[in-house]
């Protein structure tokens, strides 16, 4: 008798992802969807999709989903959570969405201690619009709008969002993870789980920053892209818990 050892989580609808080969959005989607299913919160969850590569992840997550204007997901999530305080509300945002156009919304949602989770996917580039410089683009990194490499003198410095938000009292749990190795994926899953548990306990704002790959716009093959996360990204964006280390959420 064959035993089924792996299958699609019921947190996903089954619609095939449209992401580029080697992109790690799919892994992150799966981790969030698995967590929704495992914590049995799929039917009280309401997600907010951003503008960017994941604009239509409302088609992938099996919970209720709202597509938001560019950068505004934390404000939309605030509206939802204030109406339905018993729901589990999360935003899924990229670095252009969250760290550029939506900076005000994320800072103030965190400062208000909105009881929502934000999954902030940092791949150091604008993906959807074809590889422009993001606020998180590394110094020296070439993009379509920094073709000679990002220069501190011309384009300024990358923004470390997790460290910045960790200074706010309303942000009770902030962790940065990556999904470029099995070990890191497992850690990422735990962080996502903790974020939802923090929301369940009504403690305040929780964000998991997830370092992700963009082989297409980085001009790398998928394996080199995973290596580049270790070699370059983590140097600028160290992994770890920036706030809420002491919070015990249990199983």
Which chain residues interact with other proteins by CB under 8 A?
A: 13, 42-46, 48-49, 55-56, 58-59, 61-69, 72, 75-84, 87-88, 104-105, 107-108, 112
Provide the token pair at 176.
Answer: 């940065």
Cβ nearer to other proteins, comparing 15 with 245 = 15
Task: Name the minimum Å distance from CB 132 to other proteins.
Answer: 20
Residue 51 sits at φ, ψ, to 5 deg, of: -100, 135
Q: Report the 10 Å Cβ neighbour count for 167.
A: 12
Those residues with Cβ within 8 angstroms of residue 175's Cβ, 6 or more apart along the chain or in another chain: 162, 191, 194, 195, 207, 208, 209, 240, 241, 242, 244
Cβ nearer to other proteins, comparing 66 with 201 = 66
Task: Name the minimum Å distance from CB 77 to other proteins.
Answer: 6
Cβ nearer to other proteins, comparing 61 with 228 = 61
Cβ nearer to other proteins, comparing 102 with 135 = 102
Task: Name the minimum Å distance from CB 128 to other proteins.
Answer: 12
Task: Name the minimum Å distance from CB 126 to other proteins.
Answer: 17
E-assigned strand segments in the chain:
45-49, 64-67, 88-94, 117-122, 171-178, 205-211, 240-243
């Amino acid at each position: 008798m064959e035993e089924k050892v792996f299958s699609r989580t019921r947190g996903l609808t089954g619609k095939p992802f449209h992401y580029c080969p080697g992109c790690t959005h799919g892994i992150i989607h799966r981790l969030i969807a698995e967590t929704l299913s495992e914590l049995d919160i799929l039917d009280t969850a309401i997600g907010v999709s951003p503008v960017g590569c994941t604009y239509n992840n409302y088609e992938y997550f099996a919970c209720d989903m709202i597509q938001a204007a560019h950068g505004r997901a934390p404000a939309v999530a605030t509206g939802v959570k204030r109406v339905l305080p018993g729901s589990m509300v999360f935003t899924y945002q990229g670095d252009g969405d969250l760290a550029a156009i939506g900076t005000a919304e994320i800072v103030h949602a965190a400062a208000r201690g909105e009881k929502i989770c934000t999954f902030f996917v940092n791949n150091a580039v604008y993906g959807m619009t074809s590889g422009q410089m993001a606020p998180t683009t590394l110094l020296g990194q070439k993009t379509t709008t920094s073709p000679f490499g990002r220069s501190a003198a011309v384009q300024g410095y990358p923004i470390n969002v997790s460290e910045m938000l960790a200074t706010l009292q309303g942000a009770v749990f902030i962790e940065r993870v990556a999904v470029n190795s099995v070990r890191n994926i497992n850690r990422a899953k735990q962080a996502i789980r903790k974020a939802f548990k923090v929301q369940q306990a009504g403690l305040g704002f929780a964000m998991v920053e997830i370092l992700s790959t963009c082989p297409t716009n980085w001009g790398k093959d998928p394996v080199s892209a995973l290596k580049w996360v270790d070699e370059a990204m983590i140097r600028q964006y160290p992994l770890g818990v920036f706030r809420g280390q002491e919070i015990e959420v249990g199983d």
